[in-house]
């Protein structure tokens, strides 16, 4: 059972990546990859303010990661439904699990690829103004963990909301990641961004916080009562594992009605 | 031998709409035509046995397994659904290869199996073209290819003749006949009777979600012994024959078609009618050129069963 699911998951992942090589997706990837270097370049040329460049880059890459996943997961699920191929994939042994996992892993690969290109381009473009190379591995680790966690959230939304997944995903980003994540209360620990901020602080840079006596700023990076690194990593991986388990369970028990019956 | 499919008082509800209504059956390995008009519950039946849907009431088992578990038994099943496929940016070969690899078959082997299957459905001339450029019939063939590529024991086809041109229909019929000859099982849903008739099979007749009848055409015919059989008698002496035929107590109706020299006789005892005709030929010298039971075709059976179901007979 595990072997069949694994092989089918790999097949689905490769298939999703293979069929994503279209003008539309390549254009999206190019635009997303160019977004951070372009903004960083403009900031260095025009503003060059006091905000640390690595902080701006972290925010830009976070946005690119969310956008890349938004552009990948919901349309992928929607196209499967619209193309009426869902019924074929799920009529394979353990096909539902491998379908959900395959789409999840392909989304992660796509997102990490786009963000990595964006990071490399930014480093190259910003080289005359600022050396970002010391932050590469920190960014890489955060990018990967962010993709794993956010990918799981969007996969779950895709399985639950189906055609409305895009709307729900945007709603989730606005409410959870842009609102609740900044509420100075216990509830922010249940957002992905909270843990990403903490890990960014540890792995990438202190973003100048140590030089600034600003409680708000310190709070932003969870400098008060901070969780240890392993706890943040575990929380993000936990998001991925738990949400994907829920997604697979829902997919296994959900009944999918075809147009003929609707 | 365990049953291929078992249904025990299965009902499927879509809210307040009944998709399938209290269906019980046990089908051994074999060839079955799932017949019924649109909306009769054929696709619901298929989705229940494939585990895409769960029954609201009752139990379904396929090859001894609960279909809801979507387990390893699915390797022995090939499904060709009625729904059309719309996959842009992919060739038929790539798509079928991927569908085969979802069985856990390595990529290279999957491609080999996909090529063989596409050859069987006569798609070798177009398998490297994008699916978006295919006609409906070509997409139908692709769906069939992905269903047969892994050599399943049971092939389930939902409206397989949809979109096929006349040559395609003949080729599809030939393919299905070969499939049956090789000892494989088949369940074929269709609302077009002559397509099912072309494949030698037992059938399940669904109407309004209910299983109206099942068995071979002969078996179902035997259920209708008390229902008048329609027999056509072609004779140059049709008018002279009519009073003799009417004298039989089992004959309830006789119609004369002078233009075609044909008598259409409704009788509950076709054997008695046949004996009478033999006597009339030998004693009176009437020339009878053809005696043909009108109800032998599946179309007639279908009509009769529907009339019974509606209380018209």
Asked, for residue B19, whether it belongs to a domain, the answer is yes
Which pair of structure tokens corresponds to residue B64? 């001894």
What pTM value is reported for the model?
0.79
CB contact A91 to B (< 8 Å): yes
- Looking at residue A201, what is its pLDDT? 85
Tens-place pLDDT, residues A80-90: 766 667 788 77
CA distance to partner chain B, nearest, from residue A164 (Å): 20
pLDDT at B15 over 80: yes
User: Is B85 in contact with A261 (Cβ distance < 8 A)?
Assistant: no
User: Is B83 in contact with A93 (Cβ distance < 8 A)?
Assistant: no
Q: Whole-angstrom Cα distance, residue B72 to residue A193?
A: 40
- Looking at residue B286, what is its pLDDT? 86
Shortest CA distance to A221 belongs to which of A210, A231, A230?
A: A210
Residues B9 and B88 in one domain: yes
Whether residue A62 contacts residue A52, with contact meaning beta carbons closer than 8 Å, is answered with no
Higher model confidence: residue B152 or residue B274? Answer: B152
Q: How confident is the model at residue B118 (pLDDT cuts 50, 70, 90)?
A: very high
Residues B103 and B48 in one domain: yes
Tens-place pLDDT, residues A135-160: 999 999 999 999 999 999 999 998 88
CB contact A23 to B (< 8 Å): no
Shortest CA distance to B206 belongs to which of B59, B48, B87?
A: B48
Strand order in the sheet with B31-35: B77-80, B154-158, B185-190, B31-35, B202-207, B210-215
CB contact A136 to B (< 8 Å): no
CB atoms within 10 A of CB A160: 15
CB contact B286 to A (< 8 Å): no
Q: Whole-angstrom Cα distance, residue B207 to residue B209?
A: 5
CB contact A103 to B (< 8 Å): no
- Looking at residue A140, what is its pLDDT? 95
Interface probe with B: pick from A21, A26, A83, A102, most Cβ of B within 10 Å: A83
Closest chain A CA to residue B75: A93
How far is residue A75 CA from its own chain's centroid?
A: 15
Q: Which residues in B lie closer than 8 A to residue A256 (C-beta atoms)? A: 52
Q: Which domain-ending residue is among B193, B215, B237? A: B215
User: Is A12 in contact with B99 (Cβ distance < 8 A)?
Assistant: no
Asked, for residue B102, whether it belongs to a domain, the answer is yes
pLDDT at B310 over 80: no
User: Is A94 in contact with B89 (Cβ distance < 8 A)?
Assistant: no
Angle at B187 between CA B181 and CA B190, to 5 degrees: 115
Which pair of structure tokens corresponds to residue B294? 């009108």
A185: Cβ contacts below 8 Å, ≥ 6 apart:
none
Tens-place pLDDT, residues B156-192: 998 888 877 878 888 888 889 999 999 899 999 887 7
Asked, for residue A228, whether it belongs to a domain, the answer is yes
- Looking at residue A225, what is its pLDDT? 60
Which range is least confidently modeled, A68-77, B71-80, B293-302?
B293-302
Residue with tokens 């060059």: A48
CB contact A11 to B (< 8 Å): yes
- Mean pLDDT value across residues B262-290: 84
User: Is B102 in contact with A12 (Cβ distance < 8 A)?
Assistant: yes
Which pair of structure tokens corresponds to residue A210? 């140590």
Asked, for residue B258, whether it belongs to a domain, the answer is yes
- Looking at residue A68, what is its pLDDT? 93
**pLDDT winner (highest mean) among A10-14, A162-166, B119-123, B306-310:** B119-123
- Looking at residue A83, what is its pLDDT? 62
Tens-place pLDDT, residues B278-297: 888 888 888 888 887 765 55
Asked, for residue A30, whether it belongs to a domain, the answer is yes
Which pair of structure tokens corresponds to residue B226? 């008390």
User: Is A11 in contact with B110 (Cβ distance < 8 A)?
Assistant: yes
CB contact B91 to A (< 8 Å): no
Residues B302 and B161 in one domain: no
CA distance to partner chain A, nearest, from residue B107 (Å): 7
- Looking at residue B313, what is its pLDDT? 66
Asked, for residue B48, whether it belongs to a domain, the answer is yes
Q: Whole-angstrom Cα distance, residue B42 to residue B48?
A: 10
**Burial environment of residue B289 by CB neighbours within 10 A (0 to 12, 13 to 18, 19 or more):** exposed
Asked, for residue B223, whether it belongs to a domain, the answer is no
- Looking at residue A215, what is its pLDDT? 63
Which range is least confidently modeled, A140-144, A164-168, A181-185, B262-266?
A181-185
This model of the complex carries an ipTM of 0.75
3-state SS class at A92: coil
- Mean pLDDT value across residues A76-82: 73
Q: Which residues in B lie closer than 8 A to residue A3 (C-beta atoms)? A: 104
Q: How confident is the model at residue A262 (pLDDT cuts 50, 70, 90)?
A: very low
- Mean pLDDT value across residues B245-256: 86
Residues B271 and B124 in one domain: no
Whether residue A104 contacts residue A151, with contact meaning beta carbons closer than 8 Å, is answered with yes
What's the mean pLDDT when you consider all of chain A?
Answer: 85
CATH code: domain of residue B114: 3.40.50.300
- Mean pLDDT value across residues A217-237: 76
The parent domain of residue B123 ranges over: 5-215
CB atoms within 10 A of CB B97: 29
List the beta strands (DSSP E) in chain A: none
CB contact B79 to A (< 8 Å): yes
Which pair of structure tokens corresponds to residue B196? 């099912």
Q: Whole-angstrom Cα distance, residue B48 to residue B152?
A: 19
Q: Whole-angstrom Cα distance, residue A23 to residue B175?
A: 39
B35: β partners: B190, B205
CA atoms within 13 A on the CB side of B167: 3
CA distance to partner chain A, nearest, from residue B274 (Å): 46
Q: Whole-angstrom Cα distance, residue B304 to residue B199?
A: 21
Residues B74 and B175 in one domain: yes
- Mean pLDDT value across residues B98-109: 88
pLDDT at B298 over 70: no
List the beta strands (DSSP E) in B71-218: 77-80, 154-158, 185-190, 202-207, 210-215
CB atoms within 10 A of CB A138: 18
Residues B269 and B204 in one domain: no
pLDDT at A112 over 90: yes
What's the mean pLDDT when you consider all of chain B?
Answer: 85
- Mean pLDDT value across residues A113-140: 92
Asked, for residue B165, whether it belongs to a domain, the answer is yes
Q: Whole-angstrom Cα distance, residue B7 to residue B10?
A: 6
Residues B245 and B292 in one domain: yes
Interface probe with B: pick from A258, A259, A262, most Cβ of B within 10 Å: A258
Whether residue A102 contacts residue A158, with contact meaning beta carbons closer than 8 Å, is answered with no
Residues B211 and B246 in one domain: no
- Looking at residue B252, what is its pLDDT? 84
pLDDT at A53 over 80: yes
pLDDT at A217 over 70: no
Q: How far is CA B286 from CA B44, B105, B273, in A?
A: 53, 69, 15
User: Is A84 in contact with B86 (Cβ distance < 8 A)?
Assistant: yes
Q: How confident is the model at residue B270 (pLDDT cuts 50, 70, 90)?
A: confident
CB contact B84 to A (< 8 Å): yes
% of chain B beyond a pLDDT of 90: 28
pLDDT at B236 over 80: yes
Nearest CB to B99; choose among A14, A88, A252: A88
Closest chain B CA to residue A99: B102
Task: Write down the number of H helices and E strands in chain A.
Answer: 10, 0
Number of domains in chain B: 2
Shortest CA distance to A160 belongs to which of A74, A70, A258?
A: A74
- Looking at residue A220, what is its pLDDT? 61
User: Is B105 in contact with A22 (Cβ distance < 8 A)?
Assistant: no
Shortest CA distance to B10 belongs to which of B206, B220, B153?
A: B206
CB atoms within 10 A of CB A169: 22
pLDDT at A224 over 60: no
Q: How far is CA B74 from CA B156, B213, B221, in A?
A: 12, 28, 35
Asked, for residue B222, whether it belongs to a domain, the answer is no
Tens-place pLDDT, residues B189-198: 887 777 777 7
Q: Which domain-ending residue is among B147, B182, B215? A: B215
Q: Which residues in A lie closer than 8 A to residue B19 (C-beta atoms)? A: 261
């Amino acid at each position: 059972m595990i072997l069949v699911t694994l092989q089918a998951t790999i097949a689905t992942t490769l298939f999703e990546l293979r069929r994503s090589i279209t003008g539309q997706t390549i254009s999206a990837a190019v635009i997303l990859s160019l977004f951070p270097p372009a903004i960083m370049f403009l900031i260095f040329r025009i503003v060059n303010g006091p905000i640390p460049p690595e902080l701006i880059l972290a925010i830009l890459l976070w946005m690119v990661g969310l956008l890349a996943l938004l552009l990948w997961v919901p349309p992928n699920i929607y196209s499967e439904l619209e193309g009426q191929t869902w019924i074929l994939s799920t009529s394979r042994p353990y096909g539902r699990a491998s379908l959900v996992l395959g789409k999840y892993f392909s989304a992660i690969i796509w997102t990490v690829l786009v963000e990595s290109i964006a990071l490399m381009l930014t480093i190259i473009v910003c080289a005359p103004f600022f050396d970002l190379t010391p932050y590469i591995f920190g960014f890489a680790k955060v990018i990967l963990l962010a993709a794993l966690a956010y990918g799981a959230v969007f996969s779950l939304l895709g399985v639950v909301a189906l055609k409305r997944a895009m709307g729900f995903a945007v709603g989730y980003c606005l409410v959870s990641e842009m609102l609740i994540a900044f509420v100075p209360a216990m509830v922010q620990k249940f957002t992905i961004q909270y843990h990403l901020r903490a890990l960014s602080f540890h792995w990438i840079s202190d973003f100048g916080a140590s030089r600034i006596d600003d409680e708000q700023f310190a709070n932003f990076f969870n400098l008060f009562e901070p969780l240890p690194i392993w706890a943040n990593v575990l929380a993000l991986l936990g998001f991925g594992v738990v949400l994907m388990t829920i997604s697979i369970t829902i997919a296994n028990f959900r009944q999918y009605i075809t147009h003929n019956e609707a | 031998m365990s049953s291929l499919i078992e249904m025990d008082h299965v009902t499927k509800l879509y809210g307040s709409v009944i998709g399938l209504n209290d269906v019980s059956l046990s089908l051994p390995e074999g060839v079955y035509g799932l017949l019924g008009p649109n909306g009769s519950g054929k696709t619901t039946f298929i989705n229940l046995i494939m585990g895409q849907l769960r029954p609201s009431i009752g139990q379904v088992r396929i090859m001894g397994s609960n279909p809801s578990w979507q387990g390893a038994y699915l390797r022995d099943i090939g499904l060709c659904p009625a729904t059309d496929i719309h996959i842009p940016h992919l060739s038929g070969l790539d798509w079928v290869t991927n569908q085969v690899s979802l069985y856990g078959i390595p990529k290279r082997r999957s491609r080999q199996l996909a090529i063989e299957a596409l050859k069987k459905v006569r798609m070798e001339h177009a398998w490297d073209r994008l699916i978006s450029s295919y006609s409906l019939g070509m997409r139908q063939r692709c769906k069939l290819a992905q269903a047969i590529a892994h050599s399943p024991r049971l092939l389930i086809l939902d409206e397989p003749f949809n979109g096929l041109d006349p040559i395609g229909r003949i080729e599809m019929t030939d393919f299905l006949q070969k499939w049956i000859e090789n000892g494989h099982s088949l369940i074929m849903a269709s609302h077009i009777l002559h397509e099912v008739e072309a494949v030698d099979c037992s059938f399940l007749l669904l109407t309004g979600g209910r299983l109206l009848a099942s068995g071979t055409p002969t078996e179902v015919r035997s259920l209708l012994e008390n229902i008048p059989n329609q027999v056509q008698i072609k004779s140059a002496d049709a008018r002279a024959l009519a009073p003799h035929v009417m004298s039989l107590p089992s004959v309830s109706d006789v119609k004369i078609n002078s233009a075609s020299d044909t008598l259409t006789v409704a009788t509950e005892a076709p054997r008695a009618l046949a004996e009478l005709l033999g006597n009339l030929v030998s004693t009176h010298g009437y020339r009878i050129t053809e005696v043909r039971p009108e109800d032998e075709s599946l179309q007639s059976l279908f009509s009769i069963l529907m009339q019974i179901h509606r209380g018209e007979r």
